[in-house]
Amino acid sequence: MNDYRINRLLKDLKNPNEEIRDRATAELWRIWFEQKGAIGFQIIRQAQLSLEAGEIKDAEITLTQLISDLPDFAEAWNRRAVLYYSIGEYKKAIADCKMVIKLNPIHFGALHGLGLCHAAIGEYREAIQAFHKALEIQPHTLINQKLILECTARLS
């Protein structure tokens, strides 16, 4: 990935102008989805269609095979984490989120997802840490601010 371009987008995520932040967010997602070219993107899309059709096992098999074939494709891990989160397999989702973050430390989506998973199983301190890390990258994201407050309240 082009470091200058990524650094510029990360800077734009902190811009006070919402339109600039939204464009930077969309562009980072595009880069992450297209990391492995058209083939990787198409396979992720196929898994998403399976998930939307309720064919969860097919989606999981597709993503697991993609991860096996391209273990450094962070978005494949992230998509499987989303799948696991959606079916309540929070520990598996946490493991996949951690792999995404290892491969792509600026992946604010995986950090947010990691927080959601920890919160879902009552690990509020870990959730707060993940939401804080996501906010370091996207400081204007209100949902993470709100979730930190909610998790903090649950600790009291």
Per-residue pLDDT reduced to its tens digit, 50-102: 999 999 999 999 999 999 999 999 999 999 999 999 999 999 999 999 999 99
C-beta separation of 119 from 147 below 8 A: yes
C-beta separation of 138 from 25 below 8 A: yes
Please state the rounded mean pLDDT for residues 132-141: 97
Predicted structure pTM score: 0.95
Alpha-carbon distance of 26 to 9, in angstroms, equals 10
pLDDT of 99: 98
Number of domains forming the structure of the chain: 1
Alpha-carbon distance of 124 to 115, in angstroms, equals 8
pLDDT of 2: 67
Per-residue burial over 123-149, b if 16 or more Cβ lie within 10 Å, else e, is bbebbbbbbebbbebbeebeebeebbe
φ, ψ for residue 53 (rounded to 5)?
-85, 0
Residue entry with tokens 């204007």 = 140
- For residue 35, the enclosing domain spans 3-155
C-beta separation of 98 from 114 below 8 A: yes
pLDDT of 119: 98
**Confidence class for position 156, pLDDT limits 50, 70, 90:** confident
pLDDT at 34 over 80: yes
pLDDT at 42 over 60: yes
| Mean pLDDT, the chain, integer | 97
pLDDT at 1 over 60: no
C-beta separation of 107 from 101 below 8 A: yes
pLDDT of 21: 98
pLDDT at 35 over 60: yes
The domain that holds 30 is classified in CATH as: 1.25.40.10
Question: Angle at CA 153, nearest 5°, toward 151 and 155?
Answer: 75
C-beta separation of 129 from 148 below 8 A: no
Please state the rounded mean pLDDT for residues 99-120: 98
